[in-house]
Structure 1
Amino acid sequence: MEPSNQKPKYFNLRPEIEKAYGYSHAVKIGNDIKISGAVSMDDEGNPIAVGDMEQQMKNCYSDLEKILNHFNCTFDDVVKEDVFTTNMPKFLEVSGYRTEIYKNHFPTGTWLCVKELALPEFLVEIEMEVHKNKQS
C-alpha cells in the first residue's frame, strides 16, 4: 500500500505544550515517521541545561529516543537528522557524543547555524526522519 493512502498517526510527547505552540512532535505515515525538532525542555516547556550545549544535546536525544520507542523504533531506523544550533563551533566540540547514539551507521542530514531558536535559551534543536522496514 502506498504511504499516501495510509492515515497519519500523530504522537505528542508533551501534548499541552505542543498544542500551545501549534505542532505535533511526530507523525507516522506508513513506514515513515517525521519528528519535529527536539529542544532541551522540561515537561512544563521550560528550558533546561541553559548555557550547556552538551547537556542540551543529550536532552534532545533523550526526548527523541522516547518518540522512537513509542513507534517501536531505534536510532538505527533514523534516515535523516537535521541539527540547528546557535553556536556551531560549540556544537562541533560536543558532536562526538553522536557516536553513542548512532552505533551502526550515521543518517543523512544537515547541520545549520541559525540566529535563534524558539526561545533564546535553546542552543540546539534536532529533528529526524525515520523509515521502519516493517509496519508496527
Structure 2
Amino acid sequence: MSQRTLYASGAPWEATVGYSRAVRVGNVIEVSGTVAVDEYGVLIGEGDLYLQTEFILRKIEAVLLQAGAELRHVVRTRMFVTDISRWEEAGRAHGALFGDIRPCTTMVEVSRLIGEGQLIEIEATAVVD
C-alpha cells in the first residue's frame, strides 16, 4: 500500500469534522473543497466571483506545492457556485490559471456554501508524474 500523507491548513474544524486540507497517496493528491477565506478567516473578494475563484486556485496551488506537485499536475477540478448564471466569471479565472493545462472540470450550482458571502468552492485532483 502506498504511503498516505495528510496536509493540514491549521483550521480548527479539520479535527472536529475529521478531514485534511489535502491527502497524498502515491502519486495522487486530492485537495478538499476550498473557499476564498484567508489564514485569518477573512473572506477575500466579497461579491467578486472572479477574485474568489483566483484566490481559491492560488490556495490550491500552495497546498499542491507542499505535497510535491504543481498546477500542471491537476487533472480534475470541481467548482460549486451559488449562482450558475455568473459561470463565466469563474470560468475566466479558471482559464487564466489552467489555460494550457486544461484539466477536466465540473461546475454545478448549489443553494449555498458554509460561509456568508462565499460564492464558490473548488476541489482538485492532481497526479504527479
Q: TM-score, normalised by structure 1?
A: 0.85
Q: Pairwise mapping of residues 10-25 of structure 1 onto structure 2 (< 5 A)?
A: 10-25=6-21
SS in 1 for 2:123: strand
Q: Is contact 1:39–1:122 with CA below 8 Å preserved after alignment? A: yes
Percent pairwise identity = 26
- How well do the aligned residues superpose, as a CA RMSD in angstroms? 1.7
Gaps of 5+ in 1: none
Specify the alignment match of 2:101 in structure 1.
Answer: 105
Kindly provide the amino acid, as one letter, of the partner of residue 44 in structure 2. Answer: I
Q: In the comparison of the two structures, how many residue pairs are matched?
A: 129
SS in 2 for 1:112: strand
Kindly provide the amino acid, as one letter, of the partner of residue 94 in structure 2. Answer: R
Cα offset, 1:124, TM superposition: 0.3
Work out whether 1:74 is the aligned partner of 2:70. Answer: yes
Cα offset, 1:125, TM superposition: 0.6
Cα offset, 1:92, TM superposition: 1.7
CA distance in 2, matches of 1:39, 1:108: 20
Structure exhibiting the larger radius of gyration computed from Cα positions? 1
Cα offset, 1:49, TM superposition: 1.8
Specify the alignment match of 1:40 in structure 2.
Answer: 36
SS in 2 for 1:50: coil
Cα offset, 1:103, TM superposition: 3.8
Match among 30, 47, 53 for residue 51 of structure 1: 47
